Amino acid sequence: MNTMENSANVLIIYTGGTIGMKESSETGALVPMKFEQLTDEIPEIKKMGINIDSYAFNPPIDSSNMDPILWGRLAKLIKKKYMLYDGFVILHGTDTMSYTASSLSFMLENLGKPVILTGSQLPIGVLRTDGKENLITAIEIAAAQKDGAPIVQEVCVYFSSRLFRGNRTTKEDSEQFSAFASHNFPRLAKAGTDIVFNEDLLHRSKNKGIFNINTKLCDDIVVITLFPGIQEKVFKQILAIPDLKGVVLQTYGSGNIPTHPWLINSVKEASDNGVIFLNVTQCSGGRVMMGQYETSCELRKAGVVSGHDITIEAAVTKLMFLLGQELSIKEKKMHLDQNMRGEICI
Ligand code: ASP
């Protein structure tokens, strides 16, 4: 299948990350380089027959410094340029790529074009870099059309020959080229000699409304990972943080917690005071099923919402997104429990 229309227009947004880093002559540490230096390393992109423009963060950042304000900036940039381009490629560090992909999936409403995040494990100037293939194929996917419409109409991560739904991804390896996994949802495409899309799995927005963005996020949240021996004083101290509005509770297995009365009582008290709890499993695969074991029944009774098979990255950003909306606590919990952008299967 020839999926490319030669006149496609793609905007590359360069935020930083290893793909565009080089060794500092002073310290030897990896530091970001300018976008022009980066494209000089890949003359191939000029031969692709795709009109490519770029926008670069100044200065480019290591993605460990990504935050909700910068996510909002990315969403606003996509909104501003939406009508001018057929697709968008975001060059991003791998460390927080799954968080950015997840947050954008919630902030971009009625998205009808591809937003493909990619990066690399080795800088573009290094002989064995994975950055060239990642970038070139991400551009092809962003330009891919069928019957006059973009094949991909959602936020994705493309990495190491695989295209994933962005809000299903997790960075699982800091050394291998296949840095990302999507444990609970199949890949959307595989790039070999051809790019083969799993067309039945591609997300289409339910509302056929006009593309818009919603960048209101509330970051008064915390992630609490349970572990055997977690102390009452620590847990209670966290829940006593002023203005705390949401907690992602990383529980065991299918959503279980220890049966210490102080634990469930603290959750119940905070929940009664308006804090929203989202139950997410510590397992990379599988799902939360509150009520399957006695150790999770009480959580449900305390008003904790099931994260189903959500990733931690999507849980954090979905909670921030819903807490940022003008909705009642009941409505926020209802949306948390439902699939919004393909991030959970219920
Ligand atoms: N620290 C880098 C970043 O996330 C790692 C990478 O790009 O792979 O920006």
Q: What CATH number does the domain containing 152 carry?
A: 3.40.50.1170
- Which of 63, 100, 118, 170 for a ligand 1 pocket mutation test, highest count of atoms within 8 Å of Cβ? 63
Query: Do 33 and 177 fall within a single domain?
Result: yes
Tell me, what's the pLDDT at 43? 84
Domain of residue 59: give its range: 9-213
Q: Which atom of ligand 1 is nearest to the CA of 120?
A: 8
Tell me, what's the pLDDT at 339? 96
Whether 259 sits among the annotated catalytic residues: the reply is: no
- Residue 95 in contact with ligand 1 by CB distance below 6 A: yes
- Residue 15 in contact with ligand 1 by CB distance below 6 A: no
Q: Mean pLDDT per 10-residue run, the chain (346 residues)?
A: 64 93 82 76 86 91 96 98 98 97 98 97 92 96 95 98 98 96 98 97 85 98 97 98 98 94 96 98 94 82 96 98 98 97 95
**144, 136 Cβ separation under 8 angstroms:** no
Query: Do 54 and 142 fall within a single domain?
Result: yes
**Ligand 1 geometric centre to CA of 269 (Å):** 39
Tell me, what's the pLDDT at 21? 85
Question: Residue 154 burial (CB < 10 Å; 0-12/13-18/19+)?
Answer: buried
Boundary (domain end) residue, out of 157, 186, 213: 213
- Residue 94 in contact with ligand 1 by CB distance below 6 A: yes
| Closest residue by CA, ligand 1 atom 8 | 94
CA angle 266, 267, 269 (to 5 degrees): 65
- Residue 173 in contact with ligand 1 by CB distance below 6 A: no
CA angle 317, 186, 200 (to 5 degrees): 105
- Residue 119 in contact with ligand 1 by CB distance below 6 A: yes
The CA-atom distances, in angstroms, between 109 and each of 96, 112, 155, 312 are 22, 9, 11, 21
Q: Which atom of ligand 1 is nearest to the CA of 174?
A: 8
Tell me, what's the pLDDT at 6? 53
CA angle 177, 135, 343 (to 5 degrees): 75
The Cα 226–Cα 255 span in angstroms is 11
Query: Do 207 and 276 fall within a single domain?
Result: no
The Cα 9–Cα 12 span in angstroms is 10
Pick the catalytic residue from 18, 137, 281, 295: 18
Query: Do 139 and 236 fall within a single domain?
Result: no
Q: Which atom of ligand 1 is nearest to the CA of 97?
A: 4
**Domain-embedded: residue 341:** no
Tell me, what's the pLDDT at 26? 85
Structure tokens at 107: 């902030």
| Residue burial 3-13, b: 16+ Cβ < 10 Å; e: rest | bbeeebebbbb
Query: Do 106 and 204 fall within a single domain?
Result: yes
**Domain-embedded: residue 308:** yes
Tell me, what's the pLDDT at 5? 46
- Residue 17 in contact with ligand 1 by CB distance below 6 A: yes
Query: Do 95 and 171 fall within a single domain?
Result: yes
Query: Do 301 and 164 fall within a single domain?
Result: no
**Domain-embedded: residue 2:** no
